[in-house]
């Protein structure tokens, strides 16, 4: 039997043997880590500095079978309010693709998000949506102290057959986004990714030209993505290759790699470093997370601080079990890490040690 066949057989066996681990039920702090419960799969988020609040993507289901929502989380008071769908907002079009059919319906299910600044100075929230349609949705963000707000402004329907994961705004009005599965063949594309076959790309979207596949970006299950300040360099998490890849957006040249186990989302830190969520659990534990209906998935994760120049990294926090497992995204705000999860009912607020903030 070939090595590829053995790998495939093992992956199938793990999937067949997966069973739910005992979820974390209580919401009790552990040392310097304090869980904030009452969410539903808070997979990704962005920070609004003036409002001192997060916009949180509470994911429903990747296949669109369950809806989700966007919420605001006020950091000073630990309070959560629904942002979309929710209280009626002024909905106007004008951003995104002119062929956008209108606002997302009640099936709306957000995934990756990013915050950008438009040419006129307005803040835009880009959201990967799986519910009702596969798309990138635009929201105008009002970053007001104590009263942030969202208003839907447009969309771009995804390329045919693509299941998207994360999105990053580009200077000038475009964005890049990762295709992590084939919508028509999700199981097969997952198995191909397990074999570390590089067949799924990063797309770029521009207002004048729409979507195009970027050269040099095919990899096994591209996941989180962000870009340099000038938009010329991509940082992409190759989830099944256990790598963060640094790629020239213009040429597709591979500029560097970092070995990180199953990297999920990545975000910029105020010190110019990248924060990468890494999944350190075996495949059967990760698959079992999808079966948890209440509480929090407990599997082992870490948050890696990565130097974007040298591509050298160090874990600044890791955990398995209470108070939270299955971390997906991290932001540093002051001396804290705020960490989200794709499988559970909570965010985590972690007070960083002094060495991790220098």
Q: What is the mean pLDDT of residues 109-119?
A: 96
Per-residue pLDDT, 282:
80
Contact 214, 252 (CB under 8 A): yes
Contact 242, 262 (CB under 8 A): yes
Per-residue pLDDT, 11:
47
Domain boundaries, the chain: 1-30+268-358
Per-residue pLDDT, 264:
97
In the 3-class helix/strand/coil scheme, how is 286-320 assigned residue by residue? HHHHCCCCCCECCCCEEEEEECCCCCCEEEEEEEC
Give me the chain's average pLDDT, please. Answer: 90
% of residues, the chain, pLDDT over 70: 88
Per-residue pLDDT, 347:
98
Mapped onto helix, strand or coil, the DSSP state of residue 355 is helix
Give the span between the Cα atoms of 128 and 225, in whole angstroms: 12
CA 356 to chain centre: 23
Per-residue pLDDT, 293:
83
Task: Please say if the pLDDT value at position 207 is more than 70.
Answer: yes
Give the span between the Cα atoms of 124 and 116, in whole angstroms: 5
Q: Which of 57-71, 76-90, 128-142 has the lowest mean pLDDT?
A: 76-90
Question: Band of the pLDDT at 181, cuts 50, 70, 90?
Answer: confident
Q: What is the mean pLDDT of residues 101-105?
A: 92
Task: Please say if the pLDDT value at position 9 is more than 50.
Answer: no
Q: What is the pLDDT of residues 311-337, one digit of tens each?
A: 999 999 999 999 999 999 999 999 999
Q: What is the pLDDT of residues 248-300, one digit of tens each?
A: 999 999 999 999 999 999 999 999 999 999 999 887 787 778 778 899 999 99
Question: Band of the pLDDT at 87, cuts 50, 70, 90?
Answer: low
Mapped onto helix, strand or coil, the DSSP state of residue 281 is coil
Q: What is the mean pLDDT of residues 103-117?
A: 96
% of residues, the chain, pLDDT over 90: 77
Contact 167, 236 (CB under 8 A): no
Higher pLDDT, 14 or 29: 29
Give the span between the Cα atoms of 144 and 106, in whole angstroms: 27
Distance between first and last Cα of the chain: 50
Task: Please say if the pLDDT value at position 8 is more than 50.
Answer: no
| CA-only gyration radius of the chain, Å | 19
């Amino acid at each position: 039997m070939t090595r590829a066949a053995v790998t495939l057989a093992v992956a199938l066996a793990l999937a067949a043997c997966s069973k739910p681990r005992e979820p974390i039920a209580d919401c009790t702090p552990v040392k310097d880590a304090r869980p904030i419960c009452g969410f539903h799969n808070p997979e990704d988020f962005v920070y609004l500095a003036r409002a001192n609040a997060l916009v949180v993507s509470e994911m429903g289901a990747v296949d669109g079978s369950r809806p989700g929502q966007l919420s605001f989380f006020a950091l000073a008071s630990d309070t959560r309010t629904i942002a979309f769908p929710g209280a009626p907002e002024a909905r106007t079009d004008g951003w995104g693709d002119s062929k956008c059919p209108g606002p997302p319906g009640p099936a709306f299910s957000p995934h990756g998000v990013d915050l950008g600044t438009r040419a006129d100075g307005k803040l835009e929230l880009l959201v990967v949506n799986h519910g009702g349609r596969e798309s990138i949705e635009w929201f105008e963000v009002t970053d007001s102290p104590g009263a942030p707000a969202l208003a839907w402004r447009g969309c771009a329907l995804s390329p045919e057959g693509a299941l998207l994961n994360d999105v990053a705004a580009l200077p000038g009005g475009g964005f890049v986004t990762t295709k992590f599965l084939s919508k028509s063949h999700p199981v097969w594309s997952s198995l191909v990714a397990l074999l570390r076959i590089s067949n799924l790309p990063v797309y770029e979207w521009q207002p004048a030209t729409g979507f195009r596949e970027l050269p040099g970006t095919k990899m096994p299950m591209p996941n989180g993505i962000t870009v340099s300040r000038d938009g010329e360099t991509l940082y992409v998490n190759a989830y099944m290759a256990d790598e963060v890849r640094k790629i020239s957006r213009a040429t597709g040249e591979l500029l560097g790699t970092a070995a990180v186990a199953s990297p999920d989302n990545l975000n910029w830190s105020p010190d110019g470093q990248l924060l990468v969520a890494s999944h350190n659990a075996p495949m059967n534990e990760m698959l079992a997370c999808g079966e948890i209906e209440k509480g929090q998935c407990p599997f082992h994760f870490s948050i890696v601080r990565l130097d974007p120049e040298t591509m050298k990294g160090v874990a600044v926090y890791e955990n398995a079990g209470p108070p939270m497992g299955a971390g997906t995204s991290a932001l540093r705000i002051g001396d804290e890490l705020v960490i989200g999860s794709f499988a559970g009912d909570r965010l985590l607020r972690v007070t960083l040690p002094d060495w991790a903030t220098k």
